[in-house]
Amino acid sequence: MTEHARIALENGVGEPFDRASILPPDPVDAEGDPLPVLHDREYRVRAFRLAADRVLIRGAVRDQKPPGLYIAIDPEPLTIHHMQIDIDVSYPTLEILSTNVLFESHPHEQCASIVDHYEKLVGLSIARGFTHRVRELFGGPRGCTHTTALLQAMAPIAVQCFFSLSAANAQRSDSTSPPTADQRDEMWKMNLDTCHVWAEDSDVVAGLRDGVSMGVPVFLRGRLAKLGVEPDDWAPWADD
């Protein structure tokens, strides 16, 4: 955690992330009345630095029904599924070193009997082909639908943490040195063919292969302006 983050927590900010709903406002009918809500599914994934070369990725999925839907007199939402997964990932190989699966809420007594089957994740690499391997090992009758869907939601976080782990390591060592060219190449090449922007024949990839900087990400421009930081002065590994 950076010094600025520590100060924010000490000043009562508490939660380090925005917890507001990421959905648009609920829809209404022709008369402007809210449509009846039937179901809520929430995924949440967080990553934690365990060591300079290890990250804990923690994920959860929860399904809820609104008050009174299953039991007319029930005033509270009802959780019908709640599964949690911890994965210890090694960097830069992205090998899974250990895993723990916990079922907090489920419909059938037999549901939790599949938990130990997810130990087969150990030794796999969360890299190219991981989603296909997860479907092979845990898809359909070989696993829990909700736990397997959660795993697929967690996998991209491992790749996104390449940059985050590098920045966190630099902050802990009080380093202001940027990543080497080889380290930068290693980080962006993990994204190859993961979406249209990162396609092998895309303009972004062509520029990076030619040594062109990607520049400041779109999501950072407004924040830098708010903080009074010039884009050219921004260094993600610096704390000040």
Which residues on neighbouring strands pair with residue 49, listed in sequence order?
55
Residue 3: the pLDDT is 52
Residue 171: the pLDDT is 81
pLDDT tens sequence for the chain (240 residues): 455 555 444 544 567 888 888 999 999 999 999 999 999 999 999 999 999 999 999 999 999 999 999 999 999 999 999 999 999 999 999 999 999 999 999 999 999 999 999 999 999 999 878 999 999 999 999 999 999 999 999 999 998 898 889 888 888 876 556 666 676 777 777 778 778 988 888 888 888 888 777 778 888 888 888 999 888 887 654 444
Say if residues 184 and 235 touch (Cβ distance below 8 Å): no
Residue 216: the pLDDT is 84
Residue 42 CA to chain centroid, in angstroms? 13
Residue 177: the pLDDT is 60
Residue 197: the pLDDT is 83
d(CA 106, CA 53): 35
- Rounded to 10 deg, the angle between the 145-172 and 181-189 helix axes is 170
Residue 191 CA to chain centroid, in angstroms? 15
Residue 14: the pLDDT is 63
Q: What is the rounded (10 degree) CA torsion for 179, 182, 183, 187?
A: 130
**5-18 burial: b if 16+ Cβ within 10 Å, else e:** eeeeeeeeeeeeee
Residue 240: the pLDDT is 42
Residue 7: the pLDDT is 46
Residue 237: the pLDDT is 47
